[in-house]
Every structure is written in structure tokens, then in C-alpha cells.
């Protein structure tokens, strides 16, 4: 399967714990995006990378959230001191920047439940 | 404030009929608009993109229209099938950086 993959698919944690999610994009894609989706809502943009550079972050991304893409390939999203309000589906998407509009390809998501 | 609204949370139609979903936006001037399909527990899947200078775009049984004066896009599925049952999301890119802003989605159920 050469699509976007995310790991883990599900995560249950206690409030106050740290969690880390991984995203492996489609191999030739240079752009990688993170979104968050809560029940009954559309995905909300969090941040994106062009290669290894993090170019934009949403105001939704509090100081407890950090994302990296160290070698311009896979990415990690870490949430520190989780809160119940962090419970959501975390989606990763990738695209190939060819200077104009590109289609984003989404992974299956990581569903986080904070108890 | 900027908003993307999809006309209803849920839409039920009979198999074989045409489903029409609406996406309205305010305080955006997007260069293009996209439609995605999302099945439960899965990430969105891209369906169609329509640019501001295009009135209509078709792909198999799907048709999208884009009216920048009304700030509205309509998404049609003709000859609907139970397999079309899913949530359909419209998305805009307000910054031109392909950071998508999504509507809340419409959950379509096609009844056999």
C-alpha cells in the first residue's frame, strides 16, 4: 500500500500524559499536513510542512502541541499534558507541490481518547 | 467572520434519485473549491476540484457547480446508489497555500 499511513490508529491515554503520533506520507510528496477532526465537524487545519520546514501553524495549535518532520519524510505530532478537550481524530495528509493546486491525500487518522 | 456552511447535517434519498448538496461560504474569495468524501473511521478522499473561472465540472456521476457571486457550490450525485452513502465535505483554500478549511459535512444516506 503506497498511501498515507498513520500510527497508531487508536490511542487511549489519561489526562496529563504525553502522546506522540506518526505519519508516513506518500513517498514522493513534499508537503505534509496535520488536521484535527471532532465528531460531527469537518477537519480543522493544524500545521503543514514543505519538506522539513514547518511553514504555517494554526492558532488551534497550542504550546502543548509540537510537530516535526526531521528529514522531510515522516512526521510526528506530539501533545504534551493531554486534556480531555484534545480527544479527536488526528488526520495527516500529503501532497506534491508542483507550483499550483494539488490534491491532498489523507491517511486513516489516529483517534485519541483522553480520559 | 469566515464561514463555510453545508446545507444540512443529513440527507436521505431514494436509490436512483439525484442527491444535491450545498456549500455556502462567507468572507472568502477562494480561487477554487474542493469536494471530499469521508466514510466512518476513515480520512477524507478527494473527489472534485472546481476553479473560480469554471461554472461546472463533471466526473462520472458527479457534478459540481461554483457560483462566486452567490458564494455557493452545489454537488450533485446522479443515479445515486447505496454505496454513495457517506459524509461529503466541501473545502476552501483561503490563503493559496493549500491549507484547506472544511465545512461541517453532509451525511448522505441512499435508501435502497
Report the C-alpha dihedral over residues B93, A29, A32, A74, rounded to 10 degrees.
170
**pLDDT tens per residue, range A46-77:** 999 999 999 888 887 889 999 999 988 999 99
- Report how far residue B51's alpha carbon sits from residue B32's, in angstroms, rounded to the nearest whole number: 4
- Which residues of chain A have a Cβ shorter than 8 Å from any chain B Cβ? 4, 31, 33, 35, 40-45, 48, 55-56, 91, 93, 95, 97, 101-109, 111
Task: Note the Cα B100 to chain centre separation in Å.
Answer: 13
**pLDDT tens per residue, range B20-79:** 999 999 888 888 899 999 999 899 999 999 988 898 999 999 999 999 899 999 999 999
Confidence of residue A113 (pLDDT cuts 50, 70, 90): very high
**pLDDT tens per residue, range B83-110:** 999 999 999 987 777 788 999 999 999 9
Query: Which residues in chain B have Cβ-Cβ distances shorter than 8 Å to A104?
Result: 46, 98, 100
Tell if the CB–CB gap between B49 and A101 is shorter than 8 Å: yes
Given a cut of 70, whether residue A99 has pLDDT beyond it is no
Asked whether the beta carbons of B10 and A76 are under 8 A apart, the reply is no
- Report how far residue B97's alpha carbon sits from residue A55's, in angstroms, rounded to the nearest whole number: 10
Tell if the CB–CB gap between A108 and B99 is shorter than 8 Å: no
Amino acid at each position: 500500500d503506497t498511501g498515507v499511513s498513520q500510527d497508531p490508529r487508536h490511542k487511549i491515554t489519561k489526562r496529563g500524559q504525553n502522546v506522540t503520533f506518526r505519519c508516513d506520507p506518500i513517498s514522493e510528496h513534499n508537503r505534509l499536513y496535520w488536521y484535527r477532526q471532532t465528531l460531527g465537524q469537518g477537519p480543522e487545519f493544524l500545521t503543514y510542512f514543505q519538506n522539513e520546514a514547518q511553514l504555517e501553524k494554526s492558532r488551534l495549535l497550542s504550546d502543548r502541541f509540537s510537530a516535526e518532520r526531521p528529514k522531510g519524510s515522516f512526521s510526528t505530532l506530539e501533545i504534551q499534558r493531554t486534556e480531555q478537550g484534545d480527544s479527536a481524530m488526528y488526520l495527516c495528509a500529503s501532497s506534491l507541490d508542483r507550483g499550483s493546486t494539488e490534491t491532498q491525500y489523507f491517511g486513516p487518522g489516529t483517534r485519541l481518547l483522553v480520559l | 467572520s469566515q464561514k463555510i456552511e453545508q446545507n444540512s447535517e443529513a440527507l436521505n434519498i431514494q436509490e436512483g434519485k439525484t442527491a444535491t448538496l450545498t456549500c455556502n461560504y462567507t468572507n472568502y474569495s477562494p480561487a477554487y473549491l474542493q469536494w471530499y468524501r469521508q466514510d466512518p473511521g476513515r480520512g477524507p478522499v478527494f473527489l472534485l476540484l472546481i476553479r473560480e473561472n469554471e461554472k461546472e465540472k463533471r466526473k462520472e456521476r458527479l457534478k459540481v457547480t461554483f457560483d462566486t457571486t452567490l458564494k455557493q457550490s452545489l454537488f450533485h450525485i446522479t443515479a445515486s446508489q447505496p454505496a454513495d452513502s457517506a459524509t461529503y465535505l466541501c473545502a476552501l483554500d483561503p490563503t493559496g497555500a493549500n491549507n484547506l478549511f472544511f465545512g461541517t459535512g453532509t451525511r448522505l444516506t441512499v435508501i435502497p
